[in-house]
Amino acid sequence: MDFSEEQLKRYSRHIILPEVGGKGQKKISEAKVLMVGAGGLGCPVGYYLAAAGVGTIAIVDNDEVELSNLQRQIAHSVKTLGVNKAESAKQTFESLNPDVNVVTIKERLNSKNVKDLFKDYDIIVDGTDNFPTRYLINDACVMLKKPLVSGAILRFEGQVTTILPHEGHCYRCLFEEPPPPGLVPSCQEAGVLGVLPGVIGALQATEVLKLILGKGKPLSGYLLIYDALGVNFRKVKVPKNKDCAVCGDNPTITELTDLPEEYCSI
């Protein structure tokens, strides 16, 4: 563990924690995390992971920064309007912490590229805003046995869960199939309080760091639901479903497929 004097200062509050120490900080610096989406959730997740010194952060996003994003997507700015979101976030994260290597993947995730993109990373973070991608990420993580930290937000409510494939539940154990197109409104249609992804993203980043350090209990087997208006955190138990189509005893989904496009309109 050879830290530079600068790193000793930067990570001093981590190093003095018994659960982190120099050894834990070294694990953080060697970790490789891939985030899908540099939007409301991806921005705070990446921001805190970069601050923590996560060695490699890959960001998958093929969208560009718009003015309507800046109410909640804190890694972007008026200076990066029109810039690819992965690229914009990379500039922010690397200026916060030059120790971090940010890899930009300016593609839309699909059944053909997902396994190849995920295979070199230790932990996957879902910060997407649509069901087809959410299910695709879940299924790919189950098949590759990659830990997945998933977050979702709408209006004043958010959810977080950690999926440790085959150890605990997966997204399909929780919701077998995506809801029909149009049933669940998008943030674009229903709105979202700008700070909400900050709360949920910070919880996701915490889960990622715990997984890297191997400390504490991950949110595997639970869904944490945050209600901002009522100030309630509810931790709901989610059993692993032995008949789950992807992680059950006799899986029926053994290959990845893309859901029809109309799902993407949400």
The site for other proteins (CB under 8 A) is made up of 1, 3, 8-9, 12-13, 15-16, 18, 21-23
> Shortest gap between Cβ of 16 and other proteins (angstroms)?
5
Nearest approach in angstroms of CB 23 to other proteins is 5
Cβ-based nearer residue to other proteins, 17 or 67: 17
Min dist CB 9 to other proteins, Å, is 7
Q: Whole-number minimum distance, CB 211 to other proteins, in Å? A: 18
User: Are 222 and 161 contacting, i.e. CB atoms less than 8 angstroms apart?
Assistant: yes
Which among 67, 29, 40 is positioned nearest to 201, based on CA atoms? 40
Which residues are bridge partners to 160 per DSSP? 151, 224
State which residue, 124 or 213, has the beta carbon closest to other proteins. 213
| Of 15 and 144, CB closest to other proteins | 15
Q: Of 12 and 71, which has the nearer Cβ to other proteins?
A: 12
The least distance separating other proteins from the CB of residue 21, rounded to whole angstroms, comes to 5
Closer to other proteins by Cβ: residue 1 or 190: 1
Q: CB-wise, 23 or 234, nearer to other proteins?
A: 23
In sequence order, the 6+-apart residues with CB closer than 8 A to the CB of 210 are 216, 218
**Cβ 17 to other proteins shortest distance, Å:** 9
Residue placing its CB nearer to other proteins in the complex, 7 or 241: 7
For the bound state, the minimum distance from the C-beta of residue 20 to other proteins, rounded and expressed in Å, comes to: 10
**Residues whose CB is less than 8 angstroms from the CB of residue 197 and which lie 6 or more positions away in sequence, other chains included:** 39, 40, 41, 43, 44, 72, 73, 151, 153, 158
HSE toward the beta carbon, residue 124, CA cutoff 13 A: 31
